[in-house]
Chains A and B, each alone.
Chain A
Amino acid sequence: MARAPLSAIVGLGFSPLSREPAGSVRALAAAAVRAAMADAGVDQEQVDGLLLNPSALADPGVLPPKVQDDMGLRTLGMLTTIEGKGSSAVQMVQVATAAIRSGLASMVACVFADAPIGPARGGGASFSNEGSLTGIAGWDASYGLFGPVGSYALAARRYMALHGASPDHLGAYVLACRQWAAGNPLAFQRAPLTLAQYHASRMIVEPFHVLDCAYPVNGAAAVIVAGADRAADAGRRPVFVHGMGQGHASADTPVGPHDLATAGQLAGRKAYAMAGVGPKDVSMCQFYDAFSYCALAALEDYGLCGRGEAAGMVQDGTTAPGGALPVNTGGGQLSGYYLQGMTPLSEAVIQCRGDGGERQCAANDIVLVNGSGGRLEYHAALILSPHRTLA
């Protein structure tokens, strides 16, 4: 029996995205939600839920609930902030879906907004928080483990040692993303890139070059989630949510026999089961790839290949344009734009709608989206499709 979809994404909107100071987080969020409502063809009276996702590294209070007024959402039946680090944007769609299915709300705007680049502050300075791998407050910082880049570099280095992967493998993924970005008008880094240029780029924390790290921008993106039954009313082609899952476990808690396995495994299994599909059915992936290694880890944790096989998979072009499993088709967070979980989510919506222009892939039937945060500790995943039923 065909399963009914859980909900539908009926609108997508962006604020202006910029590498220059472009306004407050609150104003960016309002601009994105208004754009998403216009895209969905709905007005403020129809939206009765609002979910907010400020960056976990932003100052407290930059995205207050009062932002509902700036969006013209004078009365709401549901309003809260989701704090699951990099999994938050994907979690917003899940929470919206659950709220709609329970009757708490009927149409929910979900927005991520961030302004990491200020007049006197580059993007990198906003991402220099203390590490937390040991789990004892202040300990990691006392050894100079600053920024997510260091914690992820540790995971990447171990992966490379265990599986014989080289910097060329990370570089192959970076190049694949750059190739995708060339077809994305929203992408910030679209110039062709060679492996030699990758290797020559500035080293941040070995083994990561600057090109292995997300490209920060100021901006916001929003989606509108509605019940699947209401999707037919929407002006634009709806994107159906068929599966949802989360998984959370600290970096030191074993979640499998392999010591690099993360709770992404749990999120994936749950999402697949709910959608009635398996990893072999996935035709496209949109992953949270704040660092190049994240995509390799996700390919393995979400079962798209075996342990240690992701390095070879990216090197042989499987994830690149023309490959058998398109991954991060808008350039992802490295070459596209870093809007945390909204980067993979927005690209999934664009691809499901067939709005990808030069980069549009035919293989958009079953799209896996993930968001992850901490040091790959917090995961949320979605199975999206342009189809109301998955055959």
Chain B
Amino acid sequence: MQLPSDHFERRFLDFIAMRELRVPRLRGSGQILGYGSHGYGANPDDIEWIPASGRATLHSYAVYRQQYHPDFPPPYNVAHVELEEGPRLISRIVPDEGAAIVIGMPLRARFDPAGCLVFVPDPTPAT
């Protein structure tokens, strides 16, 4: 048996492993929850995981110039992305060649060949 909070993390990561980005929604109220909420302690049966549209905007980004980890040689970007449904998560932007990264820019979720969730600029943002 898993406790609700652990179950919440596991569900999210299990979907990611299947290359699916999903967002948690409370049955009943229909409230979309942030990933960090861990469901606010709700019973796992009361949370449904709905497919995310994949549309998002760039909440913020940072560019690492100093190396902190052998697997992450700088420079590289870390993005804080806000999904269309509301939740925010940390990811990486794969920008178009030579294009600027701008806060608020529309993005689209992608899974790279390694199965890692990344975001690319979305040329056809929702209107």
Q: Is the pair B68, A144 in contact by a Cβ cutoff of 8 Å?
A: yes
Residues of A contacting B12 in the complex (Cβ-Cβ under 8 angstroms)? 136
Interface string of B68-84 (1 = CB under 8 A from A): 11011000101110000
Contact B35 A143 (CB under 8 A): no
Q: How far is the CA of A248 from the CA of B91 in the complex (A)?
A: 25
* 17 contacts across the A-B interface (CB closer than 8 A): A133-B88, A134-B90, A147-B68, A150-B64, A154-B78, A157-B103, A158-B59, A158-B103, A161-B60, A161-B103, A162-B103, A204-B66, A205-B63, A205-B66, A207-B62, A252-B36, A253-B37
What is the interface of chain A, defined by CB distance below 8 A to chain B? 124, 128, 131-137, 139-147, 150, 153-155, 157-158, 161-162, 202-207, 250-253
Check A154 against B64 for contact (C-beta < 8 Å): no
Query: In the complex, are the beta carbons of A133 and B90 less than 8 A apart?
Result: yes
A124 to B68, CA, bound (A): 9
* Shortest Cβ gap from B11 to chain A (Å): 10
* Contact (Cβ within 8 A) A154 B62: yes
A251–B72 CA distance with the chains assembled, in angstroms: 25
The 3 tightest CB contacts between A and B, nearest first, are: A135-B36, A146-B68, A144-B72
Nearest chain-B residue to A139 (Cβ)? B90
**Which residue of chain A has the shortest Cβ distance to B68 in the bound complex?**
A146
Instruction: Please give the distance in Å from B112's CB to the nearest CB on chain A.
Output: 12
Report yes or no: A157 in contact with B66, Cβ–Cβ below 8 A: no
Cβ contact within 8 Å between B69 and A136 = no
Closest Cβ neighbor of A251 among chain B residues: B36
Query: Smallest Cβ distance from A215 to chain B, in angstroms?
Result: 16
Contact of B37 among A124, A135, A147, A155 (CB under 8 A): A135
Q: Is B9 positioned at the interface, with any CB of A under 8 Å from its CB?
A: yes
Tell me whether A133 and B36 are in contact (CB under 8 A).
yes
Give every chain B residue within 8 A of A204 (Cβ-Cβ). 65-66
- Complex interface: chain A residues within 8 A of B116 (CB): 142
B60 — which chain A residues lie within 8 A by C-beta?
154-155, 157-158, 161
- Chain A residues with Cβ below 8 Å from B37 are 135, 250, 252-253
In this complex, the interface size class of chain B, counting residues with CB under 8 Å from chain A, is 20 to 34
Contact A144 B35 (CB under 8 A): no
* Nearest-Cβ distance from residue B13 to partner chain A, whole angstroms: 7
In the bound assembly, the distance between CA atoms of A153 and B81 in angstroms comes to: 14
Are the CB atoms of A154 and B80 closer together than 8 Å?
yes
> Which partner residue on chain A sits nearest B69 by CB separation?
A146
The answer on a CB contact under 8 Å between B64 and A205 is yes
- Interchain nearest-CB distance for B33 vs A (Å): 10
The residues of A that contact B44 with a CB separation of less than 8 Å are: none
A143 and B78 contact, CB distance less than 8 A: yes
User: B36's contact among A124, A150, A158, A250, by CB below 8 Å, is which?
Assistant: A250
| Contact between B65 and A205, CB atoms less than 8 A apart | yes
Contact: B80 with A206, CB < 8 Å?
Answer: no
Nearest CB of A to B72, in Å: 4
B19 → chain A closest CB, angstroms = 15
A133-B36, A135-B35 provided; 20 other pairs, C-beta below 8 A? A124-B66, A128-B69, A132-B36, A133-B89, A134-B88, A136-B35, A141-B69, A144-B68, A144-B69, A144-B72, A144-B76, A146-B69, A150-B64, A153-B62, A154-B60, A157-B60, A203-B66, A205-B62, A206-B65, A251-B36
Separation of A291 and B12 alpha carbons in the complex (Å): 32
Which A residues are CB-close (under 8 A) to B103?
157-158, 161-162
Chain A residues with CB under 8 Å of B91's CB are 143
- Point out the residue from B38, B65, B90 that lies within 8 Å of A131, measured CB to CB: B90
**A77 CA to B34 CA in the complex, in Å?**
43
CB distance from A18 to the nearest CB of B (A): 24
Residue B110 CB within 8 A of the other chain: no
Decide yes or no whether B104 CB sits under 8 A from chain A.
yes
- List, in ascending order, chain B residues with CB within 8 A of A250's CB: 36-37
- Across the interface, do B78 and A135 meet the contact criterion of CB distance under 8 Å? no
Residues of chain B contacted by A147 (CB below 8 angstroms): 68
- The residues of A that contact B7 with a CB separation of less than 8 Å are none
